[in-house]
Amino acid sequence: MKLMPPAVRKAALTVHILSSVGWLGAIAAFLVLAIASLTSADPQLVRAAYTGMNLIGWMIIFPLSLASLISGIVQGLGTVWGLFRHYWVLIKLIITALATALLLVHLQPVTAMAKMALAADLGPSDMNGMRIQLVADAGAAILALLITSILSVYKPRGLTRHGQKVLNKQQAQTRPAKGANA
Amino acid sequence: MTHPAPNPDSGTESRETPRHKTPRWVKGFLVAAAVLVVAIVVIHLSGGTVMNHTP
């Protein structure tokens, strides 16, 4: 893929940062609701929390996760960083792709819980395993997104095998040109 | 006793095709990820609470 012009690259980077940080914030809200619905004995609060989690999950978290994944891929392909050249980019890609896939699977029980909470009052011990799972899911998602954020800021060194090959090829191409100039 | 002359090719070769080394932070990261994955799989298989995807 051709490298993006600076203006386009900055716009794409802005979309990537906004979607990724927004995803993290939405997960934080989801986690608070999951903890509140796990610990509360008030059926109205539990009903409101699961309905809210269902809405946040499908209307905010899932679109933002897709936007983050797609904008990250565009960012990788359209800049010198590449998608498979640096370990930190590759690890971020794997974490984001896995998180998006797992999110799609784990939003199904949220919808089921929201339907149950709307149909009947949920007592403190009802569906306890599922409630704990939703808290654990949100906690794991926050951990994954914190790791990707830290990787983005620190950009730790390290070329992959593919990245090393690309670098060698680029160096081999520039060396004869330099020799010809001299 | 004469010292063997350095091989001029070896230096060039190492510059052209340096041996790929996985950074230490990547190795640590992979170990931590493997531990997490194994822990989650064990919890799933042992029928822990973090198990079902449908109520």
Q: For chain A, where are the E strands, in sequence order?
A: none
Taking any CB pair shorter than 8 Å as contact, residues of chain A touching chain B are: 87, 91, 105-106, 108-109, 112-113, 116, 127-130, 132-133, 136-137, 156-159, 161, 164, 168, 172
Question: Which residues in chain B land under pLDDT 50?
Answer: 1-15
A6–chain B nearest CA distance, Å: 30
B10 contact A CB<8A: no
Q: What is the mean pLDDT of each run of 10 residues along chain A (182 residues)?
A: 88 96 97 94 93 97 97 94 95 96 92 92 81 90 95 95 91 72 55
What pLDDT was estimated at residue A152? 95
* Contact between B49 and A91 using a beta-carbon 8 Å cutoff: no
What pLDDT was estimated at residue B6? 43
* Closest residue, chain B, to A161 (C-alpha): B20
What pLDDT was estimated at residue B4? 44
What pLDDT was estimated at residue B5? 43
Q: Select from A109, A168, A172 the Cβ nearest to the Cβ of B53.
A: A109
Q: pTM here?
A: 0.82
Contacts of A131 (CB under 8 A, 6+ apart): A34, A37, A38, A113
Q: Give dist(CA A149, CA A152) in Å, integer.
A: 5
* Contact between A128 and B16 using a beta-carbon 8 Å cutoff: no
ipTM of the assembly?
0.73
What pLDDT was estimated at residue A160? 94
Q: Select from B25, B29, B50 the Cβ nearest to the Cβ of A132.
A: B50
Q: Give dist(CA A116, CA A118) in Å, integer.
A: 5
Contact between B53 and A109 (Cβ < 8 Å): yes
End-to-end alpha carbon distance in chain A: 31
**Two structure tokens written together for B52:** 């079902």
